[in-house]
Structure 1
Amino acid sequence: MDYRVKYEKWLDFDEETKKELLGLDEKEIEERFYKELEFGTGGLRGVIGAGTNRMNVYTVRRATQGLANYILNCGAENPSVAIAYDSRLFSDVFSREAALVLNANGIKTYVYKELRPTPMLSFAVRRLKATAGIVITASHNPKEYNGYKVYWSDGGQITEEHAEGILNEISKIDYEDIKTMDFDKAVFDGLYRVINDKVEDEYIELVKGLAINKCAIVEMGKELKVIYTPLHGTGNIPVRRVLNELGFENVYVVKEQEKPDSSFSTVKYPNPEEPEVFTRAIEMAKEKGADLILGTDPDCDRVGVVVKNNEGKYVVLTGNQTGALLTHYILSQLQRAEKMPENPVVVKTVVTTELAAKICEDFGVEIVDVLTGFKYIGEKIKEFEENGDKNYVFGFEESYGYLAGTFVRDKDAVVASSLICEMAAYYKSRGMSLYDGILEIYEKYGYFKEDLKSITLKGIEGSQRIIEIMDMLRNNPPLSVSGIRVVKSKDYLQRIERNFITSERHDINLPKSNVIQLVLEDGGIVTARPSGTEPKIKFYFATAGKSLEDAEDKIEKMKAEILDLIK
């Protein structure tokens, strides 16, 4: 359908939508209506506004009608859906609208009474034995965005099979065909229900139960000073509650960032990967003499960590550094306590540090690589449980996502925050900081360094440019990068690994994904991956050196040459 025809139809939806649309120029009208907001394997994510290519009440209802149809077609007995939402603009509205569409289709909903972290939605799906789950969030995206993520009955994000099935149902739906119902009637009929506090209490107890070295908490819980910022999001209540009940008595919250705020007024992006979000927390840390700063993103599934270096300066750890620290800490403490399970496994993504593999090798623990996206780690947990042959111990990705335990099937910043504080207490009991800890790991296993460069390419032209870049790397890759020969390429879309030295080809036993990796002769890796939720292409760089300075120099040369190549 021509974008203009869609635009004209939307003018009749409601007066507020009409007013917004009439104020647009022709280019913006085309941008908003040239396609439907894409429903990917994670669901929807987009800029808030009127139009088929935007996040709004109508696109949320349409996606939910498709989900309802899919659930009913699956023949689930007494189907139900758990729903949570974060602090973003319209998150509460979108969550209620989604619930009422499901209710109108005879599907019960269980909705958190207030904003809550994404991992608590994953837990609620499992705890309530729901057919599926929805969380309204755009994670760490700018304030203009919101999103809609779908989970299945195992508590993990939907697989490609479910996503394709839901998308197929959505594609059949006209906006006029969507069912909805009155809120009061949905409540009266017992279709719209509020998740009770008992579910949250059980979650908190399970998080606390993940503590491995409680002696370190008893010894240092009263001395360790922690600054925490929820970045205007959902983490404030559960993170502080867990830390308090575990025995960490000196946890200070950044007041200006404590309350939910859909405009994220103190930061440009509410993303703990951005060092700028910690400006206020670092000022507070200097005043308090803090050992540690934690910052969680709006839906509290990612956590960033700031520690003092040897010069007394507060520095932000990378997701790979925090993940390596947690991997080593968890494995060492399980081994010390003689609690290591049989056939233990750590799971990481293909763009996450190879330092984790070195650590696992040292402890005799298997490490498994999966595609980028924490849902693939969740899938492995399910696979291990169903097969009964392996035991999940820990999983992480470089983008600040971590998970221990199996009662949640997505990255969990509440879990991670508690373990990071426990780990900091352990190192403090040894007279060390977490910065000392990562240096100790580097000295033992090698100086690994990673970096990420995201390039934003918006609109129709940007989408085409991203396609061209991936085609070039796939079909005409460089022979060398920063003077180091490229010896392999791994094409996760074609699922083929090519060795340029031996001309051998091997199948890659992972699902299809539009990812290209170039492996250098010295072990360095360059990975290109278009974002599935943002108008970006991401380049991941990884290497190891003889020292931190050597590794840094290698990374900078790799980055400069690749970025020059794609220009």
Structure 2
Amino acid sequence: MTLSFGTAGVRAPLGPGPDRMNDGTVALVATAVARHLRMREPAGSTVIVGGDARHGSAGFVDVAAAVLTAHGLLVVVPGAPVPTPVVAAAVRARGAVAGLMVTASHNPATDNGIKVYGPGGAQIVPPTDSEIEQHLRAAAREGVAVPDAGAPGARVDPTLVDDYVASVVAGLPTPARPPRVALTPVHGVGGEICRRVLAGIGVDDVTLVAEQAYPDPDFPTVDSPNPERPRTTMRLLGVAEEIGADVALALDPDADRCAMGFVGADGRWRMLDGDDTGSLLADHLLTSPLPGSVRTTGNGPGTPVVASTIVSSRLPSLLVPARGGRHVETLTGFKWLVRAGQPLRYAYEEAIGHCVLPEVVADKDGISAAGAWCATVGSGGRSVGEGLDALAEEFGAHLRSNVPLPLEHGSDPAAALRRAADQLVSTGTVTPLDGTAGFRVTIPGARAVIRPSGTEPLLKTYVEAWTPARPSARDRQDAARRLVALADSVAAAVAF
């Protein structure tokens, strides 16, 4: 079975065969993209192709470049491993008709993939993805030869990285009090470029986690290169405590996501989840806009937009209007978030993805998010802990439990969703999600979203409970009980 063209491309384990990442399947994907482009764009149109430092990435970049060049397209590559945001930014900055990024992001070391960008540097959306999928199926039926190693390829342009750094630096403010930073790229490609960006805004005191500072496709010091996993950021928090840092930052291997850590009033370092970070950044970016941001407020066309997804916290729906912005909730994925409305001030997803400079990178970008976070922490205002407390005081405390629930082997996720929804009707109000598989169940003071995984045999559950504003200790205890009760009901319904 040939690889399926998914959310924004393909992702699979490395290995031989039509359902694995190898030179043959990469040639098929590149052929499908090339045929799609040649039906809509003139010959000689520019395509940006880059890759990270994973196993196979460099060779896959060469294969894709040779295929696209053979179809009459001008291919530009950075000439070295780069973060995903560099490719997304280059598509927009160079007026390219598409971009291909070879990466599997935070997947295991055994995986690789290809992400596809359209004009403007945003991830592709329907019907483009289905049209490329059709070309992919046709190419697989016909058979596509893998280009020879010496086949004509791309034009190397190392200034793609320099241009990205300059654009991000120009879009970020210099912190009033530059923080001391502990940083890990988790064996990925973002460390040095992130350090360049931070230096560009005056944040020079940056210490990298030494064992994770340079690219290593085996990710030897972590079980998973995903910074959402507590074990992945253990070394980072240790370094942050050792150097007396103000900020801890963890990029994922292709640097399109960033997790932030802080030291609490008790002196302990901990990582924030994506919703906490997203709410704090939304608050700051609406009250202290970045250079060049549209500053109009109200309900008119210039009202700044902040976007989050159907599985993110409800807090932004309260916070954003209170700060003069317009909150938009989208389907999951940055291909929808960056299209939420204009002028887009900020977009985030709970899985530690942030878009803080949409005019530079129309996608999630961990490096620019790291810079924006340093500017936020270094603004001379409240500490991170104080900021979280202030949001809870104004809008209520929001407690969350996001847990993937595995299905039995061979189970049909659609059937499991239907059974779970039927079981939860007696618990609360069940409503289907608009435009995607899944549903939401709501009870007074709590809600849960249940949706299928696109890659694994499991259902993803996102449960949240909240308190009134100015919550008492009793309010928080009641919310915690609601959270546990609803999460247990959801788990029981999925297991039924």
Same fold (TM over 0.5): yes
Is 1:193 the counterpart of 2:155? The answer is yes
Match of 1:325 among 280, 292, 306: 280
Is 1:516 the counterpart of 2:439? The answer is yes
State the match for 2:347 in structure 1.
Answer: 395
Cα deviation digits, residues 498-531 of structure 1 (max 9, x gap): xxxxxxxxxxxxxx322322222x1422112222
Change (3 A) 1:392 1:252: same
Match of 2:123 among 147, 157, 163: 157
Change (3 A) 1:93 1:182: same
State the match for 2:454 in structure 1.
Answer: 532
Change (3 A) 1:552 1:56: farther
TM-score, normalisation: structure 2: 0.92
- The residue correspondences of 1:56-71 to structure 2 (distance < 5 A) are 56-71=22-37
State the match for 2:361 in structure 1.
Answer: 408
C-alpha contact (below 8 Å) 1:487/1:519 kept by paired residues: yes
Change (3 A) 1:335 1:304: closer
Change (3 A) 1:336 1:179: closer
Is 1:555 the counterpart of 2:478? The answer is no
Q: Which moved more, 1:275-284 or 1:253-262?
A: 275-284
Tell me how far apart the structure 1 counterparts of residues 58 and 51 of structure 2 sit (CA, whole Å). Answer: 6
Tell me how far apart the structure 2 counterparts of residues 238 and 117 of structure 1 sit (CA, whole Å). Answer: 8
Equivalent AA in structure 2 for residue 558 of structure 1: L
C-alpha contact (below 8 Å) 1:226/1:294 kept by paired residues: yes
Tell me how far apart the structure 2 counterparts of residues 289 and 335 of structure 1 sit (CA, whole Å). Answer: 28
Tell me how far apart the structure 2 counterparts of residues 96 and 61 of structure 1 sit (CA, whole Å). Answer: 10
Equivalent AA in structure 1 for residue 221 of structure 2: T
State the match for 1:23 in structure 2.
Answer: none
Q: Which sections of structure 1, spanning at least 5 residues, go unmatched? A: 1-34, 385-389, 493-511
Q: How far off is 1:75 after superposition?
A: 4.0
Q: How far off is 1:51 after superposition?
A: 1.9
C-alpha contact (below 8 Å) 1:526/1:541 kept by paired residues: yes
Change (3 A) 1:565 1:225: same
Match of 1:129 among 95, 120, 126: 95
Tell me how far apart the structure 2 counterparts of residues 552 and 307 of structure 1 sit (CA, whole Å). Answer: 23
- Aligned pairs, how many? 483
Is 1:478 the counterpart of 2:440? The answer is no
Cα deviation digits, residues 268-327 of structure 1 (max 9, x gap): 111111111111112212211112210000111111111111211111111000000000
State the match for 1:565 in structure 2.
Answer: 493
Percent identity reads 30
- The residue correspondences of 1:107-126 to structure 2 (distance < 5 A) are 107-126=73-92
Tell me how far apart the structure 2 counterparts of residues 181 and 349 of structure 1 sit (CA, whole Å). Answer: 41
State the match for 2:19 in structure 1.
Answer: 53
Larger CA Rg, structure 1 vs 2: 1
Match of 1:443 among 371, 390, 393: 393
Q: How far off is 1:379 after superposition?
A: 2.4
State the match for 1:359 in structure 2.
Answer: 319
Q: How far off is 1:364 after superposition?
A: 2.3
C-alpha contact (below 8 Å) 2:294/2:304 kept by paired residues: no
Is 1:220 the counterpart of 2:220? The answer is no
TM-score, normalisation: structure 1: 0.81
Match of 1:467 among 414, 436, 441: 414
Tell me how far apart the structure 1 counterparts of residues 291 and 140 of structure 2 sit (CA, whole Å). Answer: 60
C-alpha contact (below 8 Å) 2:449/2:462 kept by paired residues: yes
Q: How far off is 1:350 after superposition?
A: 1.1
Q: How far off is 1:183 after superposition?
A: 4.7
Equivalent AA in structure 1 for residue 484 of structure 2: E
C-alpha contact (below 8 Å) 1:103/1:109 kept by paired residues: yes
State the match for 2:404 in structure 1.
Answer: 454
Cα deviation digits, residues 49-91 of structure 1 (max 9, x gap): 2222222221111111111111112243423321121122111
C-alpha contact (below 8 Å) 1:82/1:121 kept by paired residues: yes
C-alpha contact (below 8 Å) 1:352/1:398 kept by paired residues: yes
State the match for 2:299 in structure 1.
Answer: none
- The residue correspondences of 1:88-487 to structure 2 (distance < 5 A) are 88-174=54-140, 177-187=143-153, 192-197=154-159, 199-212=160-173, 214=174, 217=175, 219-221=176-178, 224-334=179-289, 340-341=295-296, 342-380=302-340, 384=341, 390-405=342-357, 406-426=359-379, 429-430=380-381, 432-456=382-406, 462=409, 464-474=411-421, 476-481=422-427, 486-487=428-429
Q: How far off is 1:534 after superposition?
A: 4.1
